[in-house]
């Protein structure tokens, strides 16, 4: 059965999920954005959906209205939506389901635990999706939508989803910042970031297979304070503090008999 979807948003998450549902043979009937050019750009990517820049002009008969916008905009958009037939779901890890409750009848959450950048290809079939809904029939239906683009569908209420979101920030955003620091250090001596790619991939593979704690290595694990102090001396104050704080956290976590 052909499912009709309205995408509310035109950013990174909206773009990837709209493409995913279009590839799953769903019909993207509309794309909403406050900026009509942004709506039109995404609409053109998913089979010529109608771009709209007013919530008053939303199609009332779609099966799913997917709100993929900045967290602060979820509740105001839900409050401003007209009555609609289908499920209204947001995609946020930190916004509670209650942000959608009120005048809307069938509401849910469809949260992908993944980082999205519009230009970067993501295989949605490998992405875990976490769902929540106000009632079992709505949950069953939002689960079926999620399974159209990924077999990895799990349930998480609003409190557990906050934990998942923190885990995402720590495992992705914080790590990416450390990679940015690494890139800056390497560039200062004329090296490209790609020289650490094998190290990054080996670290990730080992953490997944053995677990992060069992995989920890480095001068902190050896209590090599001479090396660590030399490293700190070569860093600017911001990076030196990060290095020191992380090193001391590793030492404390592993109950090592040393201190930086």
Q: Could you read off the pLDDT tens digit of each residue along the chain, which spans 260 residues?
A: 589 999 999 999 999 999 999 999 999 999 999 999 999 999 999 988 999 999 999 999 999 999 999 999 999 999 999 989 899 999 999 999 999 987 788 999 999 999 999 888 899 999 999 999 999 999 999 999 999 999 999 999 999 999 999 999 999 999 999 999 999 999 999 999 999 999 999 999 999 999 999 999 999 999 999 999 999 999 999 999 999 999 999 999 999 999 88
pLDDT for 253: 97
What distance in Å separates the CA atoms of residue 2 and residue 24, rounded to the nearest whole number?
Answer: 10
Please give the angle made by the CA atoms of 229, 230 and 235, to the nearest 5 degrees.
Answer: 95
Place of tokens 């677990």: 211
- Using DSSP, state whether 234 is helix, strand or coil: coil
Beta strands (DSSP E) in the chain are 4-8, 27-32, 50-52, 64-67, 87-90, 107-112, 129-133, 153-155
What distance in Å separates the CA atoms of residue 73 and residue 63, rounded to the nearest whole number?
Answer: 22
State the burial class of residue 186 (Cβ atoms within 10 Å of its Cβ: 0-12, 13-18, 19+): middle
Closest alpha carbon to 86 in 2, 178, 1, 4: 4
Give percent helix, percent strand, percent coil of the chain, each to the nearest 5.
Answer: 50, 15, 35
What distance in Å separates the CA atoms of residue 108 and residue 245, rounded to the nearest whole number?
Answer: 39
pLDDT for 1: 56
- Using DSSP, state whether 189 is helix, strand or coil: coil
Please give the angle made by the CA atoms of 128, 131 and 135, to the nearest 5 degrees.
Answer: 160
Please give the angle made by the CA atoms of 192, 195 and 200, to the nearest 5 degrees.
Answer: 120
The tokens describing 228, both together, are 């660590």
Closest alpha carbon to 53 in 64, 65, 70, 40: 40
What distance in Å separates the CA atoms of residue 3 and residue 26, rounded to the nearest whole number?
Answer: 5
Cα 202 to chain centroid distance, Å, stands at 23
Residue 8 contacts residue 62 (beta carbons within 8 Å): no
pLDDT for 198: 98
Domains of the chain, earliest start first: 4-156 (3.40.50.720), 162-253 (1.10.1040.20)
The tokens describing 75, both together, are 């509740």
The tokens describing 63, both together, are 């099966």
pTM of the model as a whole: 0.90
How many Cβ atoms are within 10 Å of 189's Cβ, its own excluded? Answer: 6
pLDDT for 11: 95
Backbone angles phi, psi at 3, to 5 degrees: -105, 135
């Amino acid at each position: 059965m052909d499912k009709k979807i309205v995408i509310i948003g035109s950013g990174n998450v909206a773009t990837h999920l709209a493409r995913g549902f279009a590839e799953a043979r769903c019909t993207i009937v509309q794309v909403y954005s406050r900026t009509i050019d942004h709506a039109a750009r995404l609409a053109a990517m998913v089979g010529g959906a109608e771009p709209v820049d007013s919530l008053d002009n939303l199609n009332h008969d779609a099966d799913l209205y997917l709100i993929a916008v900045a967290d602060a905009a979820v509740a105001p958009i839900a409050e401003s939506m007209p009555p609609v037939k289908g499920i209204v779901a947001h995609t946020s890890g930190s916004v509670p389901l209650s942000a959608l409750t009120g005048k809307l009848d069938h509401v849910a959450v469809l949260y992908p635990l993944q980082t999205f950048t519009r230009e970067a290809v993501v295989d949605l079939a490998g992405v875990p999706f976490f769902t929540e809904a106000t009632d079992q029939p709505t949950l069953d239906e939002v689960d079926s939508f999620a399974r159209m683009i990924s077999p990895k569908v799990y349930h998480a209420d609003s409190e557990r989803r906050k934990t998942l979101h923190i885990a995402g920030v720590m495992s992705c955003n914080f790590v990416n910042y450390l990679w940015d620091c690494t890139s800056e250090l390497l560039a200062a001596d004329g090296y490209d970031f790609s020289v650490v790619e094998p190290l990054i991939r080996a670290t990730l593979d080992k953490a997944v297979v053995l677990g992060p704690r069992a995989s920890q290595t480095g001068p902190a694990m050896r209590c090599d304070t001479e090396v660590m102090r030399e490293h700190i001396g070569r860093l600017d104050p911001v990076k030196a503090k990060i290095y020191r704080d992380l090193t001391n956290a590793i030492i404390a976590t592993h109950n090592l008999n040393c201190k930086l």
